[in-house]
A and B are shown apart, each in its own frame.
Chain A
Amino acid sequence: MTGIAQKLASNQKQVAISEFFEKNKHFLGFDSLARSLITAVKEAVDNALDACEEARILPTIRVVIEKIDTKKDIIKLVVEDNGPGIPQKSIEKVFGQLLFGSRFHAIRQSRGQQGIGITGVVMYCQLTTGRTTHVRSKISGEPTAAVVDIGLDTRKNKATKSNQGREIWYNEDGSAKEHGTEVTAQMKAKYQKGRQSVWQYLRMTSIVNPHAEITFTDPDGEVHHWPRVTERLPTKVEGIKPHPHGIELGQLQRMTSESTDSRLTVFLRMNFSGVSARASKELCVAAEIDEKTKPKSMNPDQIRALLEAFQGERHVNGKPVKLLNPPTNCLSPIEEMLIKKGLSKTIDSRFISTLTRAPAVTQGNPYQVEVGLIFGGNMAADKPVEVLRFANRVPLMYQQGGCLLTKAIESVDWRQYGLDQPGAKGVPKGPAAILVHLASTNVQFTSEAKEALADNGEVIEEARKAMLEMGRGLRKHLEKKKKMAKTKEKFELINDILPAIAEKSAHILGRPVPDLAGSITKIMSAVISETSTTWNKETKQTDVMITLFNYTSRVRAYTILATWPEKAGAEMINNETGGRKEATGVWAWKLPSLEPGERTVITYNLSGLERGDWTETDVFFRGSQDVIGASKMDEKFLEEIRRQERALSDTGNADSTPEEPAEPMGEPTVAPPSGQTTLFGGDV
C-alpha cells in the first residue's frame, strides 16, 4: 500500500482533484454506482468503529439510506455513532484531508489500512451532486454539538467549510445525545441487494465486531438490526516498529534520509524491531558499512547492501544475521468465542466451530489467522458455501476468486469432512458458511482495490491448517449426530419397542410376559454414553452431564475425556468425579470398572459463561471397547492443542501472563514508512 500512496503524493500535485479522482476511482472504491455506496458506508462505519475502539466505547451505529431521486440515482446516507466525537476545530481535518490510512507513528493492525478515508466520500459527494457533506459531532462534557458542512475546493485542493455552528443534539427519544458523530451525505449511487450490498457489508461487519450494535434502515424503510452480543471491546493493540524482513528499498531510503541518528547501529536498533545490539553490528559487517556511518549520508549502494543484509543475502561468518521475531502482541484477534457469537447471531445454524491460531510471522510481519465454520440450519444445501473474508476486521466483498483466503478454503478436500466438493476443487457446496479472518500489521493485497489478499505461502498454509482442524470438527460433529441418532434409536428399542413385543406376544399366546434383561444385553451389546449440555437459568451456569451405560456382558474400564471452554474463561465447578486436566480445554476422568448392566454419571457445572456460549460438549474415551456416543481419543488432536499452547506461551500471548514483548519498545527516531502520506501535501 505504500507504493500507491507515494506515487499519488508525488505525481498528483498539479492534477485537479476531480481528474485524479476520475482516474483512480476503480481502486478508491468508487468505480460503480453500487460500489460507491458500499464504500461510503464502509468508510463512515470503519471510522466509527475505530474511534469507539480507541476511546473504549461500545459502539452503537445507525445507518440510514434513502432514495432522494430515483431517476438521477441520488441517494442520501446517514451514519451516526456514539463515539467520542470530534472537537470542532478537528472536523475539517478529519473530513477534508485525504489520507491513506489514519495511523501516523507505528505499524499496527488497523482498519484504516484499507481505503481512502472519509475524505474520499466527501469528495465523491461533491463531484457527483455538487453538495457538501453535513457533519454533526459532540464531545462529552460540552453542552452542544458542533455542526458544519464540509466540501472540497477543487481549485485549491483544500477543504471548505460552511454553515458552521453549534446546536443541541437530541436523540430520537428526545433525550440529549452525550457524544458521537453523525455524517449526512448525498451522492450519486445505487442501492442494491444481495451478496455485494450495504446490507451484506454491515452484516459481515457485525459478525466480526460482536461488541457493536448496528441498525440499518434500507431505502424501503425496512429496519435491520444486529444486536451487540458481547460487552468486551477488542484488545487495545500496541504499535510496533517495522521488522527488517518486511522492508522495501524505497522505505529504507526514506527512513535513512529522514534519520537524525549519528550512527548506523543506533539507527538500526531504534527504528526496527527484532534488531539487538549484536545484530545491529553484524548487519553493518554483513553490509560492509562502517557502523559509525551517519544513516543520512549513506549512498544508494550502501542502502542496497544494507537491505541485502536485512534479507539474509549478505552473510556474517558464512551465515545470515540472526534477527529476533517481531513481537506479536500488536495483533487483536476477534477470538473463538466472539466469532462464534458473531456468527450465531447472524446465521441460523446447527453447528459452529471457530478457531484462532497462534500468531505467526511472515516477512517480518506478525499475523494471525482465524476461521469459523457454521453448518446446518436453513442455509441452502445445494449451493456453494458462503465465504466470509475479513482483513483486520474489515469485510472483503469483491474479487473472492483471487483472494488468498479463498484459495486456502479451496486447498482443502472438504469431501472428507462432510461437505460436497465436486472433484475436490473450488469452494465446497453445502449448508454452511466459512469465515476467514487475517489480522496483520501489514496486509498485502493483490491490487490497490484492496479486496483480495495477495498470495503468501506461509499464510495460506496457516489458514489451511486452521481449516483442516475446523473440518475435523465438522466431521466429528456429523459423526456424533449420526451416532447420537443411533443411540437414541437403541434406547427407544429397548425401552419401548422390546417391552411392547414381549407383552403383545405373551398376550396373543396367552402366556406370561417374559423377562427382558437377557435380550436387552444382546441387543445393545455395547457401552453407551449420553451427554447433555444445558443452560441453567436459575444458577446462570451451564450444566453438563455425561452418563455411561455398560450394556455388555463383561466388566469395562474407561478414561472419559470432555472438552470445555477453558480458554474463554469458564470455570469448572461441582465436579465431584475429580479427574485431572489433560490439556487446555480438555478434562479427563479415569473411571472405576463398570459391571455389566451398570451405569456411572459424571456431572459438573461451568460458570463464567453466558447463555449460548457452550452448547455442545465433545466426549472422548480411552479404552479397548468402543463407546457409542463418544469418540475414541485422537491423540493427534491433543498434540495439536498442546502445540498451540506452546506457540501461545512462546509469543508471550498466553492467557494472564503479561510478559514483556520480545524486546523493549523505544520511541522510533524515524516515522515508519506507512500510512501517513497526504495527497495534497500536508495539513489543510
Chain B
Amino acid sequence: MTRRHTAEETKQAMHLIVGEMYDRIVKGEPPTMTLPVRTKNNIGFDKKLGVYKYGKKQSIRDATSLGSAKQLLRALHVVEFIEEMLVAGKSSTLREMYYISEAWGLGKFGSQNESNNLAEDLEIVTKCLREDFKLRPEEDGARMIGNLTLRERNRRGEWMRINARDDVGDSGYGVPYNVEAEKIELLENDIDFIMAIETGGMFDRLIENGFDEEYRCGLLHLKGQPARSTRRIMKRMSEEWDLPVVVFLDGDPWSFRIFASIAYGAIKTAHISEYLATPSATYLGITADDIVAYDLPNDDLSKKDIEALNAELSDPRFADGWWQEQINMMLELGKKAEQQSLAKYGLDFVTETYLPEKLAELGLA
C-alpha cells in the first residue's frame, strides 16, 4: 500500500521534479518533467496487488510548446505553495488552490480541472498522496445506510460513534473526504454484504422498501463516478470486515467504467489503485442480458456510447471473457437501460424479484 510521507520526505520528492527542470536549463536544454503515460495503453495488472497500475511508459513534458511550458511553471508554483503549507501546518482545498493561483501571473490555472490534474501529476511523480501535499478535494462523498458502526473524529477532535442505520436520517451517513485511520475507525457490523448503487433514486427506493434490513446489507450511494473517499471506504470495509461488495449500476458503457474504477482501479488514479480499488467487487447489474431477460424499457446506444464500448473492448481491465461477452452483447443489441427502468413492473419489483434473483446467483440471497 502507498504509504504516507512526512513533510520532509514530501519536500525532497518534490525537489526531484524541480531539480530535473533546473538541470536541463543549466545544460542548455529545454526544461522537462517526466511522468508516466496516463492512458489505458499504459496500465497493466499488478499480480501482487490485484489491481491495475501504470506501466513503464513515460511521457516527457518539455517546454518547447507554450502549453507544456506553462504546465511546468504551474508545477513549480504548486510545489512552492505546498512547501509553504507544510511549513505553516495548513491545508487547502483543490478549489482554494485554483483561486490562489490567480496571483501566480503566468503560472495561473485556466480551469480547476487543470489544477486537479496537476495535483495528480505531482502525486504520480513523487509517489506521495495529495494528503501529503495538504490538498483536499471537494468531491462529494457517498451516503451510506445499514447496520454498521464506525467512529469518526469530529471537528473538535472528539471521536463520535455512529451507527449508519440507527443514528442517521433517511439520507444516511455522509462519508467525509478523509476516511483514513486518523479520521475514521470501522468498529462493527451486522450485515452480509455491501451494495454500491449508482443513482440516488434507486438508493432511496431500496431504503423505502427496507431492503437493507431484509437482506442484511449496507447500501452505498456512489453518486455517479465515485469519489476517491467513496472508493477508499468501500475498500476498507471490504478488507477490514471481510465483506463482499456488489455493485448495482445502470446498464450502459459508462456504468461499466464506474465498475472498473471500483474493482480494478481508475486510469486517472492508477498510481494509487492498490489504495482505492476493491478487487473482490462483483458487477450485479444491469447487465446486457438483463435488458433482454427482463425485457426492460431501453434507449438506443448513441454514437458516443458505441465509441465508449469499443474503447472498452481494448481496455485491459475488460479483457476477461465475461466482460467481452457483455460489451459485445450490448453492441449487438444496440440498447442500454437504466436501473430505474425496472419500475416497469412496479415499485417493488426491484426489491422483491430482480435483486433477490441476481443475489441468488452470487449466493448472497
Contact = CB atoms under 8 A, between A and B. Distances in A.
B80 A522 contact: no
Contacts of A523: 30, 63-64
Contacts of B24: 519
Interface string B47-76: 000000000000000011110011011001
Interface residues of B, number: 29
A508 B21 CA distance: 11
A506 B22 CA distance: 7
B22 A514 contact: yes
A492 B19 contact: no
Contact of B73 (A504, A514, A518): A504
Interface string B76-120: 110110010000000000000000000001110000000000000
A522 B73 contact: no
A505 B28 contact: no
A497 B63 contact: yes
Given A511-B22, A514-B26, A501 B77 contact: no
B355 interface: no
Nearest to A490: B66
B240 interface: no
Given A501-B31, A518-B28, A493 B76 contact: no
Contact of A518 (B27, B72, B80, B83): B27
Interface string A476-515: 0000000000000110110011101110111111010010
Contacts of B83: 508
B28 A501 contact: no
A500 B106 contact: yes
Given A497-B63, A504-B73, A509 B19 contact: yes
B18 A497 contact: no
A502 to B, nearest CB: 5
Given A508-B80, A519-B28, A501 B21 contact: yes
B29 interface: yes
Nearest to A517: B28
Contact of B31 (A492, A507, A509, A519): A519
B25 interface: yes
Given A508-B15, A509-B15, A501 B79 contact: no
Contact of B63 (A501, A506, A509, A521): A501
Interface in A565-621: none
B320 to A, nearest CB: 43
Given A505-B76, A519-B31, A497 B70 contact: yes
Contacts of B26: 514
A516 interface: yes
A508 B65 contact: no
A504 B77 contact: yes
Contacts, number: 84
B109 to A, nearest CB: 14
Contacts of A508: 15, 18, 76, 79-80, 83
B73 A500 contact: yes
B66 A522 contact: no
Contacts of B30: 519, 522-523
Contacts of A519: 24-25, 28-31, 63
A497 B69 contact: yes
Interface string A251-268: 000000000000000000
A493 B19 contact: no
Contacts of B80: 504, 507-508
A501 B65 contact: no
Given A508-B83, A522-B30, A514 B15 contact: no
A508 B31 CA distance: 15
A507 B73 CA distance: 13
A504 B25 contact: no
Contacts of A517: 28
A147 to B, nearest CB: 70
Contacts of A516: 25
Contacts of B63: 493, 497-498, 501, 519, 523
B106 A514 contact: no
Given A508-B79, A509-B19, A502 B25 contact: yes
Interface in B7-27: 15, 18-19, 21-22, 24-27
Contacts of A504: 73, 76-77, 80, 107
B29 A493 contact: no
Contacts of A514: 22, 25-26
B31 A505 contact: yes
A339 to B, nearest CB: 38
A497 B76 CA distance: 12
Contacts of B106: 496-497, 500
Contacts of A493: 63, 65-66, 69
30 contacts: A490-B66, A492-B66, A493-B66, A497-B63, A497-B66, A497-B70, A497-B73, A500-B107, A501-B21, A501-B25, A501-B31, A501-B72, A502-B31, A505-B18, A505-B22, A505-B31, A506-B22, A508-B15, A508-B83, A509-B15, A509-B19, A514-B26, A517-B28, A518-B27, A518-B28, A518-B29, A519-B29, A519-B63, A523-B30, A523-B63
Given A505-B19, A509-B18, A518-B29, 18 more contacts: A493-B65, A493-B69, A500-B73, A500-B107, A501-B21, A501-B73, A504-B73, A504-B80, A506-B22, A508-B76, A508-B79, A514-B22, A514-B26, A519-B24, A519-B25, A519-B29, A522-B64, A523-B64
Interface of A: 489-490, 492-493, 496-498, 500-502, 504-509, 511, 514, 516-519, 521-523
Interface of B: 15, 18-19, 21-22, 24-31, 63-66, 69-70, 72-73, 76-77, 79-80, 83, 105-107
Question: Which 3 residue pairs spanning A and B have beta carbons closest together?
Answer: A518-B28, A489-B66, A504-B76
